[in-house]
């Protein structure tokens, strides 16, 4: 199993968090289910392996389009994989997809939309080229060239919203949004409207996503061994245990102890 | 039969319509708000009863006119907008300062900030044919001094 992350070229780093490639060398005997909590990032994904399914509480189980754009997730989701796994993705900084493509990101919350429906049939050429036999680096170059061309075409730049969204990520969601708005001398209404457009959710809600995301990443990095829940809750910035349980259950659909017990999470496959 | 792709694109349009509603609400522009609805559609304030209480064109218009009159600085923050079948679900924080009696609540000049859930159901023409609104009414009343 290969799940590897790659850093983007410097000129794309304001927009792109990383690329990833996920492949398996041998066909697994059993279908595999991988669960992921909301992570605070949108992505473009190209599948060159066998089709796979996505299970969400809202939509049940659906086959994922061969290439798609996903916006912010506000609930945990499960990938049901079988056969050959082969996918490459660009993971975007919180406002990166909007800055590069100009899309209203609130429309893509909890959605995986076929790229050709958003970007037109031209994207099929990229999809076909990525599907051709190639090395991992070769595929990343194709994806990076596509994004570089997009950046040039749209004269993409970052703005104050990108800065704030990135700050929320850096602070792991533990941040006072009202104080931040005062500090930046921004009009609340305009700022929230722009943030919704560029990130997909409100700043306050995004901070909640990042808090749960960071916490789940921490748990995954410890292989879901929790010695001291109080320490976990305190470090993640929750007021108390009931606040934490309410938030965790709201985002993942399960109480923390059950989630930890059952979870087989994407991060388990990460190679640092 | 519609394809999955058509369903997805329809959801995008409907999410945009929902955002337009909250933008018009921020501007306290009743006519812009009402233009998004089928006036004969159902209007349901969920904490106040188990069924829709009237039509959007009648009760809905009166309700929002009353809200804007009693809370002239009424404003909102859209937390998230998601699709569920033919419905769009909006998690929204509403806030404002009371300046006149409203729905049996005597004006004490207090401010409320309350998480609301708006559920818009759309028809084939992408007009909103039903709206249901849910919130913690006890907390809302307490904040206004009831």
Mean pLDDT by 10 residues, chain A (272 residues): 93 97 82 87 95 87 94 92 93 97 94 92 91 92 96 93 95 91 87 96 96 88 79 86 90 84 53 35
ipTM over 0.95: no
**Structure tokens given for B34:** 């009402």
Which whole number is the average pLDDT over B109-114?
97
- pLDDT at residue A25, rounded to an integer: 79
Q: What average pLDDT does chain B have? A: 92
Q: Is A3 helix (H, G, I), strand (E, B) or coil?
A: strand
**Structure tokens given for A134:** 């190639």
Query: If we measure between CA atoms, which residue out of A197, A113, A75, A115 comes closest to residue B8?
Result: A113
Task: Give the start-to-end residue ranges of the domains of chain B.
Answer: 4-143
Number of A to B CB contacts under 8 A, please give it. Answer: 60
Among A42, A103, A117, pick the best mutation site for testing chain B contact (most B Cβ within 10 A).
A117
Check if CATH label 1.10.3720.10 holds for domain B4-143.
Answer: no
Task: Give the start-to-end residue ranges of the domains of chain A.
Answer: 2-154
A171-185, B2-16, B67-81: segment of lowest average pLDDT: B2-16
Q: How many CB atoms lie within 10 A of CB A118?
A: 18
- pLDDT at residue A263, rounded to an integer: 64
Dihedral sign for Cα atoms in the order B32, A193, A41, A90: positive
pLDDT of residue B84 exceeding 80, the answer is: yes
A72: nearest CA in chain B? B80
Which whole number is the average pLDDT over B112-125?
95
Task: Give the span between the Cα atoms of B82 and A107, in whole angstroms.
Answer: 8
Conformational region of residue A173, where left means phi above 0, alpha means psi within -120 to 50, and beta covers everything else? left
**Structure tokens given for A246:** 């309410």
- pLDDT at residue B81, rounded to an integer: 96
Task: Give B58's DSSP letter.
Answer: I
State how far residue B138 is from chain A, nearest Cα, in angstroms.
20
**Residues of B with CB below 8 A from A114's CB?**
5, 8
Task: Give the span between the Cα atoms of A100 and A89, in whole angstroms.
Answer: 15
Pick the CATH number of A2-154 from 2.60.120.10, 3.30.450.40, 1.20.1250.20, 3.40.640.10: 2.60.120.10
Query: If we measure between CA atoms, which residue out of A62, A38, A67, A53 comes closest to residue A200?
Result: A38
pLDDT of residue B113 exceeding 80, the answer is: yes
Phi, psi of B96 (to 5 degrees): 180, 170
Task: Give the span between the Cα atoms of A171 and B73, in whole angstroms.
Answer: 32
């Amino acid at each position: 199993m290969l799940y590897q992350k790659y850093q983007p070229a410097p000129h794309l780093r304001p927009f792109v968090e990383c690329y990833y490639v996920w492949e398996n060398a041998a066909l697994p005997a059993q279908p595999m289910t991988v669960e992921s909590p909301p992570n605070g990032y949108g992505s473009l994904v190209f599948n060159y392996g066998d089709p796979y399914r996505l299970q969400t509480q809202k939509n049940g189980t659906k086959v994922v389009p061969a290439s798609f754009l996903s916006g912010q997730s506000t609930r945990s989701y499960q990938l049901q994989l079988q056969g050959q796994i082969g996918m490459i993705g660009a993971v975007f900084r919180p406002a990166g997809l909007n800055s590069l493509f100009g899309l209203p990101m609130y429309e893509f919350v909890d959605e995986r939309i076929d790229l050709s429906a958003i970007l037109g049939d031209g994207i099929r050429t990229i999809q076909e080229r990525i599907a051709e036999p190639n090395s991992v680096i070769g595929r990343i170059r194709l994806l990076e060239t596509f994004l570089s061309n997009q950046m040039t075409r749209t004269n993409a730049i970052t703005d104050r919203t990108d800065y704030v969204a990135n700050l929320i990520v850096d602070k792991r969601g533990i941040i006072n949004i009202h104080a931040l708005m005062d500090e930046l001398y921004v009009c609340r209404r305009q700022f929230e409207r722009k943030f919704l457009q560029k990130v997909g959710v409100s700043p306050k809600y995004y901070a909640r996503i990042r808090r749960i995301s960071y916490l789940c990443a921490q748990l995954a990095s410890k292989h879901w061994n929790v010695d001291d829940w109080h320490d976990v809750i305190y470090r993640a910035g929750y007021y108390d245990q009931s606040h934490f349980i309410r938030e965790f259950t709201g985002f993942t659909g399960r109480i923390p102890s059950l989630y930890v017990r059952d979870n087989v999470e994407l991060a388990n496959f990460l190679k640092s | 039969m519609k394809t999955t792709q058509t369903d997805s694109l329809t959801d995008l349009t409907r999410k945009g319509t929902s955002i337009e509603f909250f933008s018009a609400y921020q501007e306290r522009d009743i006519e812009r708000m009402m233009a998004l609805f089928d006036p004969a559609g159902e209007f349901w304030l969920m904490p106040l009863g188990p069924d829709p209480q009237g039509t959007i064109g009648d009760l809905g218009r009166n309700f929002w006119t009353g809200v804007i009159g009693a809370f002239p600085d009424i404003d909102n923050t859209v937390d998230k907008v998601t699709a569920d079948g033919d419905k769009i679900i909006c998690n929204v924080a509403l806030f404002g300062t009371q300046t006149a009696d409203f729905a049996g609540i005597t004006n004490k000049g207090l401010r409320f900030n309350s998480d609301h859930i708006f559920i818009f159901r759309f028809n084939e023409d992408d007009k909103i044919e039903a709206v249901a609104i849910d919130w913690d009414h006890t907390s809302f009343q307490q904040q206004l001094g009831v």
